[in-house]
Structure 1
Amino acid sequence: MTDIKVRFIMPRHLAICWIFAVVLLTSCSSEPVKNKPILEVQTQPKQRMPAKPAVKSYGLANDQASNYLLNADTFIQSGDSQSARKQLDLLNQAELSPEQRGKFNLLDGQIALSMGDAEQALQKLKIARPALLSTQDKINYYQSLAFAHLLMGDVLPAVSARIKLGNLLQKPEQQQANIAAILDMLSVMPEQTLTAQPEIADELSGWMSLAKILKQRHQPGADIGGQIQQWRLNYPGHSANADFLQAYLANSPVSAQPSEAGLASAPAQSAGATIAVLLPTSGPYATAGKAIKDGLTAAHRLAASAAPQVPLKFYDSAEEDITDLYQRAVSEGATQVIGPLIKEQIQALAASAELTVPILALNHVENLIQNNLYQFGLSPIDEADALALKAHGDGRQSALILVPNTAQGERIGNYLASSWQSRGGIVAGMQNYDPKQHEIVDKFNQLVNSASYPGGQQPARAVLLSANAEAARELAPQLKYQQNADLAVYAMPTIYSGRPSPVQDAELGSFHFCDVPWLFADYYGGPLSQSALQNSWQGLSETVTRLMALGIDAYNIVGRLDQLAGSPYAGATGQLALSGDNRITRKLVCAQFKGGVPVATGFAQ
């Protein structure tokens, strides 16, 4: 088999796998990896027994050995592989039943993965006997197997494991994500490798044939739509056929005939027509402007590979009065306008200009409504709403709100309180802190100790937190003293830089947060995913990385703004819809830190 090393596929479902996807796959060079990868392993905290046991596997007896296995499983799920290892070391394998040995070898393989030892993990997984595992353990098994093969550079065995995984997944979004992962893995293989597989199972052969077709999307004159139609006939029962392939194509425009592939039609073009982009390319906001521009151009380039597109024309919004700039863009043929980014410029346009051409502004000004003005930004309103929705869905009944003592912190505190109370929740206390004084721990204790509850009863509580990564890391050790079933922390996405730091974030396991799907491989895949665009965003500051996703979505929705009210769009920044005041709202993906790496748990609902 061709020696293919994959650097950008990051399977997410298994908590411990995230660490290695980030540390190993994004850091390796283009040279083949010949030795087992070695990781610096963060010292684990003192072992504590799991508060909540893992789901018991089928066939495991209710005895001490089973308890050790279940405890080890729970430790692995929480990212504490050293404690899991200690649980397994208490077992005598010779005394285990066949089902218990299968579970033992699965857990042993997962621990090996947590140490970056893919070779050892494969040895353990090969003797795990998945037929004896429960359904959830089978899912964990094939996820681990796929990832271990990827670490070894073996793409086709990894794809085979994901094919078997797909047969176990029940939720449509999980199945769709698995399909995207398979096609992404195959996309890195040379075309001749995809072709030269004479003795291969029909389903894998179908995947490779499809991947070969999709690789041609950048080739002029390629009849992608016709080839996909023929592929459907050749593989009528293939798992990627029907709705799932349709959804993948809709998120990854590859067909030369978009209407046949389920895509929105390319914008109608007239001579000299442009999409004007008003972004700062100089001045203090130039870095943010560059991130958005990179996302816009990536989305435009991909769409242009399928069908002719209206060209983008960029204007520096820092160099000219924004009203004059808008009018100049319209006079030069703009049929749509993306930008500006700065709130004051959005307000100026709404106040002084007749908006003859629709504007998709890339920020949000509250209580501002103007004909032909649409507002789309990474608004903390959406983030606060997602946190409240998540905490309420988790059964939390009262909230303690902790925010910085800044103007922005006060606004976020109001958003959190309003969203929480709109769902019938009780705000038992609110406290602010000075981020510069490193006082977040003291203020948190004051908040907890001064909280008041109706009737004196203390219901299940949520701490709704606004903090940056540094403040969250200061607070994390204190939460161990408060850690019990009735208290959980739900933080604004500012606690996460957008780039995994498993060592620095090792103690953030108590934190939930909700963020853009683009950061999670299984919720936004394909050629515009974070992993696929790694070379672009690695050169950006961490503070503006998410703005690249904003640029991707801005391009993809600017031509369909009038459709968003009735037909939400699955974007890089969220599930997008249009509100009554022409604001693009975002439904976000929530996550929890496991082993210092955020693991998505699903859309806030």
Structure 2
Amino acid sequence: MMTSAQHKPSPPQTAAILRPAGLLLAALLLWSCAPTPVEREPLPETEIELMADSAELMRDTGDPEAAASIYQEIAASVPDAERPKWLFQAMEAWIEAGETDRARGIGGSLVPAELPREERFRLAVTLARADLMDNRPQEALARIDVREEGIPRAVAPELLAVRGEARFRLEDAVAGIADLQRRADLLGGDDRLAALQTIWDRLMALPSLPDREQAAGRPLISGWLNLARAGQQSWQRPDQFDRAVAEWEALHRDHPASELMDQLLADHRERFRYPDRVALLLPLSGRFAAPAEAVRDGFLAAHFNQPGTRRPAVRVYDTGDETEGVLEVYQQAVADGAGIVIGPLTRPALSELRRAEDRPVTVLGLNYLDEEEGGVDGLVQFGLRPESEARQVAQRMVREGHRHNIALIPETEWGYRMLDAYREALADMDAELLDFESYLPQQRDFSDRITRLMGLNRSHDRRRELAGVVQESLEFEPRRRQDIDGIFLASQDGQASLIKPQLRFHRAIGIPVFASSHVYRPGQSADTDLDGIRFADMPWSIAQEGEARDERERISGLWPELFDQHGRLFALGFDAYRLVPVLSNFEDPLRPPLAAMTGVLSLDEHNRVQRELGWAMFSRGQPIPLEPIEEQPQIPEPAPLDLEAP
């Protein structure tokens, strides 16, 4: 094999390689070594072309700052009528470099009223692009929110692209689709296909799609949204995407998105392709055997839901109770040809694997490392972390307007973890934990804890003091403290059904009670003592229709005893299998977030899968799903622009 040192290009090749560098050097010598007078003689056209070619080369090779400087030098050396053209190029190069203030500085040197109409629009579009680079879509939209019939034809595709992007970022997808589709209609050939692909990409990046009602009577918009729904749901059942697309085409004939179908189907098959072999590492012997079996059976249930022709070979490895052996098991799985490793399940085993210097195959760990350990490349963490639920309880309470709250927790390590996460989340939202009480795990009478928490003990103390003063018995109605907005109840092992009636007895009527998923066990008998409690939980547990309900009922029928104890771990295994192609093939996995059995899944900067849970409330002893409460973006009215003047 010839090494690079032995290989010498022929003279023609050498000339071809050096030519761009020579052009660049000549251009730099032309403009950088000369003095900079206030006014210059116009440069010859050949020199301008040489400098422009050099600037373009700079942009192509990743040095937009140098390109911007060259464009500004050209602008200083051409007649006034030609200056805006080169200044716009300089602005765009500075924006590419992330130097948006320098781009705005150039824009500020131009007087819009002195520019021809087309260049006035081009200035507004370029400044709007700088706003988008700074993630200021409201300002971008305000600059270019003009009637379409007033946009010069030469600028329209660019303006519609920037305006459509701004509207998508402001979660106005319907208007964003309309702008980007109008842009595509102005283009042809490959440019048109690229513009249509942009619409698809923006829709796939949305965390949630607009309601169907928002596109009522607009078949073009509703067609895009219906196709996007099929795309966003395709990761759950990749094998059904082809059928969903065929059904879509039957309903939306002649829709412009049809031009993308061949490419979308090919991309889908590639992105959802499983590795040939998948390894599952679980402690199937020892203390954690039962939870491990639930994860395994959920994983295999998802595996056998897939058509046989597309299934990978799955091999299950027993890691046992010994943390120290997990690295050897991982190495064996890699030697056996695994394309991805799922597990281990326990935190110590995952921590041991994290410390390994060499992990050639991606790991989807089924737990979370301690925060101080941090994330590492090639190791994704996914589990059912209770602290995440406590934080989401706090977020829901604040969104409902309950900012001054109390908490009742078990006196256990788990209980204090929940309390700390809940308190921190409240503080992050400028809300307050007024007080908390802890109770014993086997306790049945919570009167003393609740009395203190509700401030009733102080009311009783005041009665006793007053009775001592007047030396006679007094009629008395105890009053609870009046500053409580809501109650966080952290409970396991069925104690919530004992606590809720006692809260009611001790004058907590009218104060909403919120809890984590631990107050509910899927399939449990109706318990009216829980009525009124709002709780966070995964779709697997509370969905009343769709695939989550169907799979829950099917699996609970197959393994009733194991499901009764570890029902949610089946869902963890189920989702772990579905995540395999997402982690294997996606450049930016879990963006947008994906609706799954365990929640809406996203990936944070530490390679931790975050779960957004659903909500339910007990009514007549059974959970009834609640609607999400979302923070709506504040979209200001666009400022009036003087772009439509002749």
> In 2, distance between residues paired with 1:227 and 1:575?
24
For the pair 1:569 / 2:561, whether they are aligned, the reply is: no
Out of 267, 278, 282, the position equivalent to 1:279 is: 282
CA shift digits 1:483-525 (9 cap, x unpaired): 66751111121111122311xx112112111011111234752
> Secondary structure at the residue paired with 1:396?
coil
Deviation of 1:447 after TM superposition, in Å, equals 1.6
Deviation of 1:468 after TM superposition, in Å, equals 1.9
> In 2, distance between residues paired with 1:526 and 1:260?
28
Equivalent runs, 1:56-95 vs 2, <5 Å? none
Q: In the alignment, which residue of structure 2 is the partner of 1:399?
A: 405
> In 1, distance between residues paired with 2:481 and 2:402?
14
For the pair 1:360 / 2:364, whether they are aligned, the reply is: yes
> In 2, distance between residues paired with 1:361 and 1:337?
8
Q: In the alignment, which residue of structure 2 is the partner of 1:107?
A: none
For the pair 1:333 / 2:337, whether they are aligned, the reply is: yes
CA shift digits 1:518-571 (9 cap, x unpaired): 112347526863134332342414231000110111111133235335321111
Equivalent runs, 1:170-209 vs 2, <5 Å? none
Equivalent runs, 1:1-400 vs 2, <5 Å? 231-232=247-248, 259=265, 265-267=271-273, 269=275, 273-305=276-308, 307-318=309-320, 321-367=325-371, 368=373, 369-400=375-406
Aligned amino acid, residue 543 of structure 1? Q
> In 1, distance between residues paired with 2:368 and 2:246?
46
Deviation of 1:464 after TM superposition, in Å, equals 1.1
* Paired residues of 1:336 and 1:359 also in contact (CA < 8 A): yes
Deviation of 1:332 after TM superposition, in Å, equals 0.9
Change (3 A) 1:458 1:548: same
* Paired residues of 2:294 and 2:566 also in contact (CA < 8 A): yes
Change (3 A) 1:286 1:433: same
* Paired residues of 2:446 and 2:502 also in contact (CA < 8 A): no
> In 1, distance between residues paired with 2:305 and 2:364?
20
For the pair 1:498 / 2:498, whether they are aligned, the reply is: no
Change (3 A) 1:230 1:278: closer
> In 2, distance between residues paired with 1:467 and 1:260?
49
Q: In the alignment, which residue of structure 1 is the partner of 2:414?
A: 408
TM-score (norm 2): 0.52
> In 2, distance between residues paired with 1:463 and 1:450?
16
Deviation of 1:450 after TM superposition, in Å, equals 7.5
For the pair 1:512 / 2:542, whether they are aligned, the reply is: no
Deviation of 1:592 after TM superposition, in Å, equals 0.6
> In 2, distance between residues paired with 1:488 and 1:230?
47
Deviation of 1:586 after TM superposition, in Å, equals 0.5
> Secondary structure at the residue paired with 2:562?
coil
CA shift digits 1:399-445 (9 cap, x unpaired): 11211111121111111111121111111002111112324343122
> Secondary structure at the residue paired with 2:359?
coil
* Paired residues of 2:543 and 2:625 also in contact (CA < 8 A): no
> Secondary structure at the residue paired with 2:376?
coil
For the pair 1:429 / 2:435, whether they are aligned, the reply is: yes
Aligned amino acid, residue 453 of structure 2? L
Change (3 A) 1:377 1:258: farther
Q: In the alignment, which residue of structure 1 is the partner of 2:556?
A: 534
Change (3 A) 1:533 1:411: same
Change (3 A) 1:348 1:460: same
State the Cα RMSD in Å: 3.7
> Secondary structure at the residue paired with 2:417?
helix
Q: In the alignment, which residue of structure 1 is the partner of 2:449?
A: 443
Aligned amino acid, residue 423 of structure 1? M
TM-score (norm 1): 0.55
Out of 543, 549, 557, the position equivalent to 2:565 is: 543
Higher helix residue share:
2
Q: In the alignment, which residue of structure 2 is the partner of 1:204?
A: none
* Paired residues of 1:429 and 1:447 also in contact (CA < 8 A): yes
Largest Rg, 1 or 2: 2
Aligned amino acid, residue 612 of structure 2? K
Change (3 A) 1:224 1:436: closer
> Secondary structure at the residue paired with 1:499?
coil
